[in-house]
Amino acid sequence: MRKRILLLTILCFFILVGQGFANTMNNHQYYPQDLATATGTVEGTGLNSIDIYDEERKRIERFIYLQDSAQFHQGDYIRIYYHPKTAVVAIIKRMTVLEYKENGQNLGNILHKSSN
């Protein structure tokens, strides 16, 4: 009986120490400011991955996406927030491409307060 309690105690100790070690090695999981971004068009989706043409790096990048990737199709314009060490996707946002209209109709408005 004492041997079982001792073995369970040692096992729990190693589990807790292992989790603490894993947390220190992957500290980017707990700090959202450490997320990197990539913006581009979807080139393809796999079972647990999504490939995009990154418009900043000018190449195809593969990211690990553990949710349903069937909602994204080839040609969709998206922004990915991911963990830079592991390339695991945290958030994907679908972006809309605004068509150009003359006279600045979709440039937005900036409110300038007068000094009067």
Convert the pLDDT of each residue in 83-106 to its tens digit.
888 899 999 998 876 666 666 665
User: Which residue is it, tokens 């994907």?
Assistant: 92
Q: Measured in whole angstroms, how far is the alpha carbon of residue 15 from the centre of its chain?
A: 28
Give the residue-averaged pLDDT of 55-83.
Answer: 89
Convert the pLDDT of each residue in 10-58 to its tens digit.
877 778 776 655 554 444 344 556 889 999 999 999 888 999 999 888 9
Q: What is the pTM of this model?
A: 0.56
Instruction: Output 110 or 96, whichever has higher pLDDT.
Output: 96
User: Which residue is it, tokens 């408005």?
Assistant: 109
Q: What count of other Cβ atoms lies within 10 Å of the Cβ of residue 6?
A: 10
The predicted pLDDT at position 27 comes to: 42
